[in-house]
A and B are shown apart, each in its own frame.
Chain A
């Protein structure tokens, strides 16, 4: 029985973190319940759609939070702080597995023939796979910015706080990421379909 669980649910992230620093386990559990799904899927997107790796990183992140709750900077919003920590973990993962992943990316980025359905509808599943593959080829900061913006639906201001940069930098990253992806995923543009109703291949 958790008589005060509703009270914890109503608390802000920052207040919960204050309680976590004091050793309140239910506050920690409330924060985990509030963010674990988003963080897990963020890791999943950022770490090459590897589920086990994403779960490992989720556990590592919250274990670090449990062991060093005082490392949280109370002047920052908890959400952006949490995503910045997750992003740094992703960068570390990139560094450690760079060699392995380059080989994997080359395999995944092999030319595919993408068939448009009914001449107009694209295969969304294929599109997602290609999008993920192209995202993995991007610079980690651009990729993280794109994922936070369009997958986690964070505001520009929150992304800027997570990266510790200006909002203009974030917007610029988003623009150039869109431009690059549009160029690489041109075949999924219905306007670019050829006369046979088939998307162009890369």
Chain B
């Protein structure tokens, strides 16, 4: 049976470090004596090894100049690709990053860009000259709204005696629509119609509620004008007491109401919303709307 060596020649280093010749086990001593001449050589090697290990930490070591570091870094920079290609590589690396560290460069670039854009938008919206003008305008609108008269003065158009109550009581909007329909189809003008001030006021308030602040401002002005026009109509009615309203007068009256056209626009919108929930109506396709707008303008 083949006998395996417990030690190899190279393991003598370990024995030299740990044990003197006299401390070696018989088996170890036999192994050592196969590679060294005897006790003296073993002890000499052991002494040398001890000196080497003791002396190495005390050996004065030299240091490199910073110039060497600068030179090798400069060589590295010179060897590398242009910076824009490195940046593009880092962008491409966003899609094939293996470690979180690889994200930092593109993340910093895009993050910085996002911060700059955000700051720019914020400055434009809050600190720019337009922003201050808008604030001042809002304050004016508030004051103007406060000056709006509470309720426009009543203007009545009484129905001629021949009409029943049911015919005389529909809302002014319905009356206008009916009148416009008749006008567009060539039918005789609506005979008596009763337009009350409350109906008009409600119509305006509902319309105004849907408008933005700027539009509200315009509507409020128009409301004043409408109120003035209605006052005139009311005075006329008082003078004439009861009379039949012709189609022309009704159209004129509506024109007066819709001086700027804004009210017409809003009314047509409201009408679309309320009366035609199932489909879209265009001006061309709807003779009522077309007639209404024609009269309004």
Knowing A23-B86, A59-B72, A150-B52, say if A7 contacts B101 (CB, 8 Å).
Answer: yes
For residue B71, which residues in chain A have a CB less than 8 angstroms away from its CB? Answer: 59, 63
Knowing A66-B79, A128-B55, A150-B53, say if A171 contacts B104 (CB, 8 Å).
Answer: no
Q: How far is the CB of A37 from chain B (nearest CB, A)?
A: 7
Q: Does B76 contact A (CB under 8 A)?
A: yes
The tally of residues in B whose CB lies under 8 Å from a CB in A reads 45
Knowing A25-B76, A124-B55, A131-B52, say if A171 contacts B8 (CB, 8 Å).
Answer: yes
B79 x A179 contact (CB < 8 A): no
Knowing A25-B73, A178-B48, say if A54 contacts B8 (CB, 8 Å).
Answer: no
Knowing A23-B81, A175-B35, A183-B44, say if A58 contacts B68 (CB, 8 Å).
Answer: yes
A51 x B52 contact (CB < 8 A): no
Q: Does B56 contact A (CB under 8 A)?
A: yes
Q: How far is the CB of A139 from chain B (nearest CB, A)?
A: 17
Knowing A25-B77, A58-B68, A67-B75, say if A37 contacts B61 (CB, 8 Å).
Answer: yes
Q: Does B49 contact A (CB under 8 A)?
A: yes
A128 x B64 contact (CB < 8 A): no
B8 x A150 contact (CB < 8 A): no
Q: List 27 A-B contacts (CB under 8 A).
A: A4-B101, A4-B104, A23-B80, A23-B81, A23-B86, A25-B73, A28-B73, A28-B76, A32-B72, A33-B69, A36-B69, A40-B63, A54-B62, A55-B64, A62-B68, A62-B75, A168-B10, A175-B13, A175-B35, A178-B12, A178-B13, A178-B45, A182-B45, A183-B44, A186-B44, A189-B47, A191-B44
Q: Does A80 contact B (CB under 8 A)?
A: no
The tally of residues in A whose CB lies under 8 Å from a CB in B reads 52
Knowing A124-B58, A150-B56, A179-B41, say if A188 contacts B63 (CB, 8 Å).
Answer: no
For residue A33, which residues in chain B have a CB less than 8 angstroms away from its CB? Answer: 69
Q: Which B residues have a C-beta under 8 Å from some C-beta of A?
A: 8-13, 16, 35-36, 40-41, 43-45, 47-49, 51-56, 58-59, 61-65, 68-69, 71-73, 75-77, 79-81, 86, 89, 101, 104
Q: Does A185 contact B (CB under 8 A)?
A: yes
A66–B68 Cα distance when bound, in Å, is: 13
